[in-house]
Structure 1
Amino acid sequence: MKYLKPIKLYRQLLKSNEHKSGRLLGLDVGDKYVGLAVSDADNKVASPLSVLVRKKTNIDFMAGDLQSLISELSLSGFVIGYPFDRWSNSPCAMQIKILINDLAKTRKLEDIKYTFWEERFTSKNVDFLLKPLEMHPVDCKRIKDKFAAVGILQGYLDFVNGTRGQDQESQISQNDDT
């Protein structure tokens, strides 16, 4: 697994996928579960996918599941939710780093590139949406994890697609000036 800055991941995705589609997988890492969301083929819209159970003893299975998703869904990279604030050494942030290190040790995801994206308030936003539904707590937790992953991935996609448009506009204005 190789970390790239957010814009660099997207630019490499565009460059490497000029003739084929490459999608992104969003991950919301929690203590017990990892919520997953996947982008569409155009990398514009995120959709909920599934939830993986997270245990120290099943990291090899988790890496295998992610490896299968990479091939099944033509995934080119991961967007992992991360709490960017002054408490970046928080237990939540440390859990995310531990998961990445554990996945890297399996050597099943060596070619995958990933980046971090702000995850604060994604779970709270989903809580506000689910509260009126009065669901069973177990069902609510699984849905919350998937939709928190959607929030992370959609935030990233909105940013990079907006930046991409700005890059294209600046290239057009530069071409008009010359």
Structure 2
Amino acid sequence: MKYVKPLNLFRDLLKRNGLEHGRLLGLDVGDKYVGLAVSDPDNKIASPLSVLIRKKTKMHLMAEDFERLISKFSLAGFIVGYPSLRLRRNPDAVQVKIFIDELCKTGKLEDVKYTFWDECFTSKNVELLIKPLKLPPILSKTVMDKFAAVGILQGYLDYFNRRPELEER
């Protein structure tokens, strides 16, 4: 996996021609689960996808899951939620960094570009939205993780899609 700055990842998407157009995968990395969201082919709208169980001792299995998703959705990169980009020593931020480092060590995702995006309160926002639904705990956690990933990815997409200077000329 290769880290790229958020702007550079979006510019790379814009440079692709219509046949190579790739989508983005949003990741909300937690201690036990990784919530996933995927963009539409035009990279305008994020939709919930699924939740992966985080297998800390079997990271190669997670890498294989990501390989399948890359193939299935023609993914061009990952947008990884990062707890407050200004507080790098935050324990949750360290956990995200360790997760990405472990994925990189598998060697299975060499061509994948990724960037970090501030996830500021995405999980809390989703929690407040779904609380009135009174979902069973397991379903609630799954919904929360998927929609936190949607919030991360949609925040990224909205930020760069609103920048007219990035439009191809």
Q: Report the TM-score when normalising by structure 2.
A: 0.95
* Aligned counterpart, 1:175: none
- Percentage of identical aligned residues: 62
* Structure 1 residue 69: Cα displacement: 0.4
Figure out how many residues of one structure are paired with residues of the other and give that number: 169
* Aligned counterpart, 2:46: 46
The amino acid of 2:75's aligned partner reads: L
Q: Distance in 1 between matches of 2:112 and 2:87?
A: 27
* Aligned counterpart, 1:136: 136
Which structure is higher in helix share? 1
Report the more deviating stretch, 52-61 or 152-161: 52-61
* Aligned counterpart, 1:106: 106
Q: Aligned Cα RMSD in Å?
A: 1.5
Q: Distance in 1 between matches of 2:99 and 2:60?
A: 11
| Greater Rg by CA | 1
The amino acid of 2:72's aligned partner reads: E
The amino acid of 2:13's aligned partner reads: L
Q: Distance in 2 between matches of 1:158 and 1:86?
A: 21
> Kindly tell me: are residues 49 and 168 of structure 1, through their superposed partners in 2, closer, same or farther at Cα, counting changes over 3 Å?
closer
Indicate yes or no: 2:12 matched with 1:12: yes
Consecutive unaligned residues in structure 1, runs of 5 or more: 172-178
Report the more deviating stretch, 97-106 or 7-16: 7-16
Consecutive unaligned residues in structure 2, runs of 5 or more: none
Report the more deviating stretch, 78-87 or 119-128: 78-87
* Aligned counterpart, 1:90: 90
Q: Report the TM-score when normalising by structure 1.
A: 0.90
Is the contact between residue 23 and residue 41 of structure 2 (CA under 8 Å) also seen in structure 1? Answer: yes
Q: Distance in 2 between matches of 1:118 and 1:17?
A: 29
The amino acid of 1:67's aligned partner reads: E
